[in-house]
Structure 1
Amino acid sequence: EGKEYLLKSVGTWLPAQKQSTSSSSAEEDAQKVIPPYESRITTAKLLIECEEYEMAVDVLEGLLEEDDEVVQVWYLSGWVCYLQWEKAKEQQEAEGREVTGQEKEEWEALQEAARSYLTNAKKLYSKLRCDDKPMLEHTEQLLGELGGDMEPQEEDEALDDDYEPCSDEDENSDAEAPMEH
């Protein structure tokens, strides 16, 4: 019953989230319907728990498009890809048949996506000096099972270049500055 309500709830705002990421004109209308960022992270966790992996991926992709410097979102994205990969393997084994070429390609894509997301989570974890040790340990465990970290690419350096540390001081000084009319 809880799963039914969860899916119904997500069904009301997920289309608006997808639309707002594709067009800026719809963004204001979408903000009225779409729950806050943290609530959507919680929703993604619940979807993963209910094994609604595809919908969880959609929620997480929207979150990454909105803010790509949240370690937990990268971690959850990698985790859901890993779980999809595991589920596909288990299903094939339960059916007791040979793996098709298409399945093998899909599995490899899920593996690589999981490695990529988890590698980004680990890098961002270090860069932002996060303190969620269990998440880091699980990330490293999953990466170990997937074949290790992805090799660094040029785009990672670009992410480092545009990183600006945030502090409460900056926000407070902006808030105290008089507004011009």
Structure 2
Amino acid sequence: MDSENVQALETLSGVLLELGDLEGGHNALLKSVELSPDQGHTKYLSLGQLSEGLQALDYYQRGIDLLSKAVERLSEDQELDHEAVAKMDQSNESITLKRELSNACCAMAEIYMTDCCFEEDAENKCQTLIQKGILADPKNPEALQCMSNFLLVKEEIEEAKAKMQESLSLWLPKYQAVREGRLDSSDFDPVEVCPLSYDARINTSKLLIELELYDEAGEVLEGLVEEDDEVIDTWYLLGWMNYLRGQDYWGNSRFYLNNTKKLTAKFGVDNPQILQHAEELLEEMGPGEDGEDENENEINENSKEEEEFESSSGEEMEH
């Protein structure tokens, strides 16, 4: 009906990307940019995700410029009194835009830490972007996590740990309380309980393992297994983490790594290095003591019984 309808093109690109048609989604986004280059930040952020290196940085920057202007427009009306401005700052639109701006800054910073780490003044640009992301949304755990990663790259370990703990404090306690049944999840928006996606929390766990914050890494990874117990990376990371904790935890490590092998046999291997490393670790640790597998199975069964008990108790309380 209208091949130059920008909204239709952007919606189409989202559908095509979800279906795995990266080329079609990319082309729809480029057409949208051609038709409306100065409006709509979302298409630039999507193009940034689909691109690499300097090209990705350029798209993200264009998206950030549009986002920054949108945030400024919400605060520019001098006719509003202070009370009205305060209410406006808490509006859903304002919160959403600031979070998107914060995440986009961190996405650019991550590129400077990886693909473009050898670009001129990359370290300072990276730090400036992370600080801008935190300033845009001080309650964004991903921005604080990005700063932790930056500090870790600089080998400022204690500072990185402190920033990571600050990030976790924004969501992990409430998430744990919901998991343990101390809080009713129906009382909260799911995003309020856990604002990080599954993939983002996998990255969180990787960083926690690097920082040797094993208890926190275990909490995050166990929550991920509860949500989806067929993600190979999650089982592998649990195995790797327990291996690193020392021989007292190797029984747990064997259990998780054997599950990693079972899942790779069932679903195939996206990352052959994970399977190879899992097999190397299992070979290094050996078969374990007699009865170890049985003990692990018993622990697993007990955990299931506890979950069933908590679930039935919750249903009784509701009645």
Q: TM-score, normalised by structure 2?
A: 0.38
Pick from 140, 146, 165 the counterpart of residue 7 of structure 1. 165
Shift in alpha-carbon separation, 1:143–1:22, aligned structure 2, 3 A: same
Give the Cα–Cα distance (whole angstroms) in 2 for the partners of residues 60 and 125 of structure 1: 18
Shift in alpha-carbon separation, 1:28–1:136, aligned structure 2, 3 A: farther
Whether the aligned pair in 2 keeps the contact of 1:53 and 1:80 (CA below 8 Å) is yes
Give the Cα–Cα distance (whole angstroms) in 2 for the partners of residues 27 and 121 of structure 1: 33
In structure 1, the partner of 2:211 is 50
Shift in alpha-carbon separation, 1:133–1:15, aligned structure 2, 3 A: same
Pick from 212, 232, 257 the counterpart of residue 71 of structure 1. 232
Larger mean CA deviation between 23-32 and 49-58 belongs to 23-32
Q: Could you list the runs of 5+ residues in structure 1 that have no partner in the other structure? A: 87-106, 156-181
2:243 maps to a residue whose letter is Y
2:271 is the counterpart of 1:127: no
Pick from 80, 99, 118 the counterpart of residue 241 of structure 2. 80
Q: Could you list the runs of 5+ residues in structure 2 that have no partner in the other structure? A: 1-158, 298-319
**CA-atom RMSD, angstroms?**
2.4
Whether the aligned pair in 2 keeps the contact of 1:82 and 1:111 (CA below 8 Å) is yes
Displacement after TM superposition at 1:148 (Å): 4.1
2:174 maps to a residue whose letter is A
Q: How does 1:16-165 map to 2 (within 5 A)?
A: 16-23=174-181, 25-26=184-185, 29=188, 31-33=190-192, 34=194, 35-85=196-246, 107=248, 110-148=249-287
Whether the aligned pair in 1 keeps the contact of 2:205 and 2:220 (CA below 8 Å) is yes
Whether the aligned pair in 2 keeps the contact of 1:17 and 1:30 (CA below 8 Å) is no
Q: Secondary structure at the match of 2:269?
A: coil
Give the Cα–Cα distance (whole angstroms) in 2 for the partners of residues 71 and 143 of structure 1: 16
Shift in alpha-carbon separation, 1:129–1:83, aligned structure 2, 3 A: same
- Note the alpha carbon deviations across 1:96-138, whole angstroms, 9 max, x for none: xxxxxxxxxxx1xx11100000000110011111221111110
Displacement after TM superposition at 1:62 (Å): 0.8
Displacement after TM superposition at 1:22 (Å): 2.9
Q: TM-score, normalised by structure 1?
A: 0.65
Whether the aligned pair in 1 keeps the contact of 2:255 and 2:293 (CA below 8 Å) is no
Whether the aligned pair in 1 keeps the contact of 2:269 and 2:275 (CA below 8 Å) is no
Structure with the greater alpha carbon radius of gyration: 2
Give the Cα–Cα distance (whole angstroms) in 2 for the partners of residues 75 and 53 of structure 1: 14
Greater relative contact order: 1 or 2 (C-alpha under 8 angstroms, separation 6 or more)?
A: 1
Shift in alpha-carbon separation, 1:9–1:115, aligned structure 2, 3 A: same
Whether the aligned pair in 1 keeps the contact of 2:201 and 2:220 (CA below 8 Å) is yes
Give the Cα–Cα distance (whole angstroms) in 1 for the partners of residues 253 and 237 of structure 2: 9
Q: Secondary structure at the match of 1:51?
A: coil
Displacement after TM superposition at 1:19 (Å): 2.1
Whether the aligned pair in 2 keeps the contact of 1:40 and 1:59 (CA below 8 Å) is yes
- Note the alpha carbon deviations across 1:19-77, whole angstroms, 9 max, x for none: 22233832562622311111110000000000111110111111111111100000000
Whether the aligned pair in 2 keeps the contact of 1:16 and 1:30 (CA below 8 Å) is no
Give the Cα–Cα distance (whole angstroms) in 2 for the partners of residues 20 and 5 of structure 1: 24
| Percent identity for Structure 1 against Structure 2 | 40
